């Protein structure tokens, strides 16, 4: 039976090539956009380089102080992370790093834009960067405020050119020369807590903010590492209890201090607003975008399918006259529509693959290599099936309600 439906579907598609082209274009274009978006989200959320210990880590990205009429929100300070977050008992390590900041450096009269980040030594114990050369910044180098740096392979090529090794050479930024002790595989800027071009000990920071800034807010991120994933809930609860005991810094403006040690996803989208969950906002925005993206071509396909039904009214009348039930006709048309959407989906997958190759080649986001994996393909298949059902149910229902006499007279 399915074989016959498939033959009928192909015959119908070939009968009106223009309508078929419009249908396939709408389906394939929609699926291409959704697959590219899904590949991007999957890369941002699912890529565990360099935080391979994510299953036993909690991330501190925001701290906010809120009152009735005012709110102050931003990354916590180094002092807060080193003094308060470190005071809880469960973490076996507390990694601290600044947000990345930009500066310029010059080599052979060429200006190079460079992003730099300050870290403590435990940062390198928690995160597992892939070292192509050398080693990470040590605790002793941090304590001595040694002017050393770990750089990415991209910045090595841009600054030093094609040389066998950059270890022991000096990289100048902000008129300060730093000795290169390691070269790592870079991370994309979408991993904003770990991204940078060069990494420096926090003790070499010119502004000495880690010493002078005793307030809760600053410009740093924290990673709490538990001994095992079983300790995450305990570590989370300890951190929450510690934050609840904090006194408000400015009692005239604020009455509460909020900060959370969250899993990677929650920490990544944390807005610092206790009234609106960052995760909920992101999921809602993506869902609305996907819904609108699917709605327009679905409505277009529904209209095209209704037109096709009217053209096939005589066929429907004949089949009904010979005893075909409405259920059989509905089933046939839905199967035909799913075949159409799967065909458009196959084209969409090919177009998505080409689009991802173009985006990767363009290097719009450094170190972000998008791919179509099993997760993305499964979502694409699911979208095709949903697309086929949504655009086929109403036209199929309309078709099943056609009167036999009316359908035959339409010829």
Q: What is the 3-state secondary structure (H, E, C) of the chain?
A: CHHHHHHHHHHHHHHCHHHHHHHHHHHHHHHHHHHHHHHHHHHHHHCCCCCCCHHHEEEECCEEEECCCCEEEECECHHHHHHHHHHCCCCCEEEEEECCEEEEEEECCEEEEEEEEEECHHHHHHCCCCEEEECCCCHHHHHCCCCEEEEEHHHHHHHHCCCCCCCCCEEEECCEEEEEEEEECCCCCCCCCCCCCEEEEHHHCCCCHHHHCCCCECCEEEEEECCCHHHHHHHHHHHHHHHHCCCCCCCCCCCEEEECCECHHHHHCCCCCCCCCHHHHHHHHHHHHHHHHHHHHHHHHHHHHHHHHHHCHHHHHHHHHCCCCHHHHHHHHHHHHHHHHHHHHHHHHHHHHHHHHHHHHHCCCCCCCCCCCHHHHHHHHHHHHHHHHHHHHHHHHHHHCCCHHHHHHCC
Residue 391's nearest CA partner among 334, 346, 307 is 334
Q: How many CA atoms lie within 13 A of 298 on its CB side?
A: 19
pLDDT per residue as tens digits for the range 78-99? 999 999 999 999 999 999 999 9
Mean pLDDT of 154-171: 94
**Which of the four pLDDT bands, split at 50, 70 and 90, describes residue 278?**
low
Mean pLDDT is lowest, of 206-220, 288-302, 370-384, for 288-302
pLDDT per residue as tens digits for the range 287-313? 777 677 666 666 666 666 666 666 666
Domain locations in the chain as residue ranges = 2-47+279-409, 62-261
Per-residue model confidence (pLDDT) at position 150? 98
Per-residue model confidence (pLDDT) at position 181? 97
pLDDT per residue as tens digits for the range 23-39? 777 778 877 887 888 88
Cβ neighbours for 282, distance < 8 A, ≥ 6 positions apart: 269
d(CA 324, CA 370): 49
pTM of the full predicted structure? Answer: 0.78
User: Which of the two residues, 338 and 39, has the higher pLDDT score?
Assistant: 39
């Amino acid at each position: 039976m399915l074989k016959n439906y498939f033959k009928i579907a192909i015959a119908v598609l070939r009968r009106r090539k223009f309508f078929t082209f419009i249908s396939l274009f709408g389906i394939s274009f929609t699926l291409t956009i959704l697959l590219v978006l899904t590949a991007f989200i999957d890369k941002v959320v699912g890529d565990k380089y360099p935080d391979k210990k994510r299953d036993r880590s909690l991330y501190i990205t925001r701290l906010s102080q809120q009152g009735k009429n005012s709110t102050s929100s931003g990354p916590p300070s180094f002092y807060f992370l080193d003094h308060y977050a470190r005071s809880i008992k469960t973490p076996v390590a507390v990694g601290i790093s600044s947000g990345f900041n930009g500066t310029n450096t010059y080599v052979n009269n060429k200006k190079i834009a460079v992003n730099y980040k300050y870290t403590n030594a435990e940062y390198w114990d928690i995160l597992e960067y892939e070292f192509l050369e050398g080693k990470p910044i040590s605790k002793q180098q941090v304590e001595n405020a040694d002017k050393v740096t770990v750089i990415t392979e991209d910045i090595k090529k841009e600054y030093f050119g094609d040389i066998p090794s950059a270890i022991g050479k000096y990289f100048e930024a902000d008129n300060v020369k730093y000795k290169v002790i390691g070269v790592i595989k870079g991370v994309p800027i979408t991993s904003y807590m770990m991204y940078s071009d060069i990494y420096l000990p926090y003790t070499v920071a010119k502004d000495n903010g880690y010493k002078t800034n005793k307030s809760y807010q600053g410009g740093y991120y924290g990673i709490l590492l538990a001994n095992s994933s079983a300790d995450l809930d305990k570590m989370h609860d300890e951190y929450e209890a510690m934050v609840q005991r904090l006194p408000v810094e400015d009692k005239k403006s604020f009455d509460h201090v909020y900060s959370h040690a969250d899993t990677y996803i929650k920490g990544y989208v944390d807005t610092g607003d206790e009234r609106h969950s960052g995760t909920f906002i992101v999921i809602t925005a993506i869902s609305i975008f996907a819904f609108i993206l699917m709605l327009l071509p679905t409505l277009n396909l529904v209209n095209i399918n209704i037109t096709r039904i009217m053209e096939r009214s005589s066929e429907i009348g004949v089949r009904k006259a010979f005893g075909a039930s409405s259920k059989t006709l509905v089933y046939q048309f839905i199967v035909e529509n799913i075949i159409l959407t799967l065909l458009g989906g196959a084209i969409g997958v090919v177009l998505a693959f080409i689009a991802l190759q173009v985006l990767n080649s363009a290097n719009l986001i450094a170190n972000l290599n998008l791919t179509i994996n099993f997760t993305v393909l499964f979502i694409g298949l699911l979208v095709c099936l949903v697309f086929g059902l949504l655009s086929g149910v109403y036209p199929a229902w309309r078709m099943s309600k056609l009167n036999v006499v009316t359908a035959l007279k339409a010829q």
